[in-house]
Amino acid sequence: MHEFAKIHLAAGAPTDAAIFIASDEDIYYCSPRAVEIAGALIQGFGGTECPAPCASEVDPMVGIDPYSGVPFSPELELFHEPEDPDSN
């Protein structure tokens, strides 16, 4: 993480470049901008492309809050209002 932090700072500390860890697993997620600025480093640790997590599923490791521009997956809606059959 220290190496990424150095690269991140050298790139101007973009708020859309960050590394996160899954809340319930030992899995790291890197934002697309993090991969842009530190792709070789991330690949050196075996990084592979994956879908974006929901923001609620990860905790920040390296980056500048508020992580504006990080493309998280939309949060799932747990409750849906039933559709009104007469609304059509």
pLDDT tens string 36-71:
999 999 999 999 999 999 998 999 998 888 787 899
Question: Which residues are within 8 A (CB) of 54 and not within 5 positions of it... i.e. 6 or more apart?
Answer: 72, 73, 74, 75, 76
Residue 76 lies in a domain: no
Residue 11 lies inside a defined structural domain of this protein = yes
Please state, in angstroms and rounded to a whole number, the distance separating the CA atoms of residues 56 and 75. 8
Q: What letter would DSSP give residue 14? A: -
Instruction: Answer whether residue 20 shows pLDDT above 90.
Output: yes
Q: How confident is the model at residue 16 (pLDDT cuts 50, 70, 90)?
A: very high
Evaluate whether residue 31 is within a structural domain: yes
Domain-embedded: residue 50: yes
Would you say residue 10 lies in a domain? Answer: yes
- What's CA 25's distance to the chain center, in Å? 15
The total number of structural domains in the chain stands at 1
Range of the domain at 48: 2-69
What would the pLDDT profile of 67-87 be if each residue is shown by its tens digit?
878 999 987 655 545 566 665
Q: Cα dist. 19→3, 23, 38, 77, 79 in Å? A: 12, 13, 11, 25, 30
